[in-house]
Amino acid sequence: MTEDIRNIYCVGRNYALHAKELGNDVPEEPMIFSKPTHALHPASGKLALPGDIGEIHYELELVVRIGTGYKPGMTVNELVDGVALGIDLTARDVQSQLKEKRHPWLLAKGFIGSAVLGPFRPFEGEEAFGALTFSLVKNEAIAQSGSPRDMIFSLQRLIDFIGTRMGLGAGDVIYTGTPAGVGPLTDGDTLEMKLAAGGKEETFGPLYVDLI
């Protein structure tokens, strides 16, 4: 239930190929930003987005939910109780302008509807999480695909980094980063998210993009 979500933490440049496709250096430590809870949007139905701020890019991500308060030394398996798919939507032109001014990214990352989130499934442990594969289908063609095996920073590293600096509690969620293949949305696009585990695949959506 999205109303139970407290904090939305997001990880930038956690897949090397994605960092390179945008011309960015691969980070040496996790890059963390956040979104307001007003940005949350379900993974199906009409996705109304601002059409007057330049290109809005899709970034498919695995999202984990924290089930209990973080304490140093706690493991992923003790802390995480759910996993879902989400899309971190980014106003790319706005982000580029903010980077040039050395300003925070919030205006580019936190607009209403910019945190698409599917339903959570039980977290079955860090090993099972590493075996997941996920993909984004845009207009019936695969636009992105990835696996957490390719993440630069492990889930444990992300949780320790965030937990020791900003805190983590029950109801917090972490968007763990996007693989390569991000791109712009246009009015009328249709999006579906797919999550595969143990030979079974679930589909979430569709989302219908409406630039207003």
User: How many whole angstroms separate alpha carbon 168 and alpha carbon 34?
Assistant: 13
pLDDT at 77 over 70: yes
Contact partners, residue 102, CB within 8 Å, separation at least 6: none
> For 9-13, 165-169, 185-189, 197-201, which range has the lowest pLDDT when averaged over its residues?
197-201
Residue written as tokens 């029950």?
170
According to DSSP, the β-strands at 173-175 and 200-211 are unpaired
Query: Residue 27: what pLDDT?
Result: 74
Contact partners, residue 101, CB within 8 Å, separation at least 6: none
What is the pLDDT of the chain when averaged over all its residues?
A: 93
Query: Residue 22: what pLDDT?
Result: 59
Task: Give the largest Cα separation in the chain, rounded.
Answer: 47
How confident is the model over 178-190, as a mean pLDDT? 95
Structural tokens at position 119: 């339903």
Burial of 18 (0-12, 13-18, 19+ CB in 10 A): buried
